[in-house]
Amino acid sequence: MNTPVIRKITPKDNAHIAAVVRKVLEDLGVPKVGTAYADKALDNMYNAYKKDRSDYFVVEANGKVIGCAGIAPLDNYEGNVCELQKMYFLEEARGLGLGAKMITTCINQAMAYGFEAMYLETMPYMEAAQKLYKKNGFEYIDAPMGCTGHSACPVYMLRKL
């Protein structure tokens, strides 16, 4: 594998991102309803992240999208908090340090936008992801913030920026 590159999304990435997210969720047995799998924006992520203070990034290696993540203001929340959204990596991309690099990319962008904190939701059995989040300053919180529409994700984490 050539050196993976993290870059901002382009319109040509839409189908590849949707395929990565759905493949990872299917591999993990995640419910299709109440998770990113059913998000209407998933098939057109480029347009979904054209709003203010939002960005989506892909990891590309050998001309193939192997991972992705983004940030956007937390939906239905009044504070200055963004959400780490749709962070997924194909199996071939795991264990290479790309998750930590992607989180750093997202945190740096969130800080550049002036957010005060970053929120995320995940599944209880996504233990490797939770370990990565904790290692990068996220802490568990007891209840959801805002309303992301991901009712099947009962683990909530927050990181001050």
pLDDT score at 35: 59
pLDDT tens figures, 61-79:
999 999 999 999 999 899 9
pLDDT of residue 152: 65
DSSP E strands, the chain = 5-8, 55-61, 64-73, 81-89, 117-122, 139-141, 155-160
Look at residue 69 in the predicted model and tell me its pLDDT.
Answer: 97
Regions of the chain where pLDDT drops below 50: none
Domains in the chain and their CATH numbers? 5-115 (3.40.630.30)
Measure the CA–CA gap between 3 and 42, rounded to whole angstroms.
Answer: 26
What integer pLDDT is reported at residue 28 of this predicted model? Answer: 80
Q: Residue 125: what pLDDT?
A: 83
The residues pairing with 46 across neighbouring beta strands, listed in sequence order, are none
Q: 146 Cβ partners below 8 Å, 6+ apart? A: 74, 75, 76, 77, 81, 83, 119
Per-state percent for the chain, helix, strand, coil, to nearest 5: 35, 30, 35
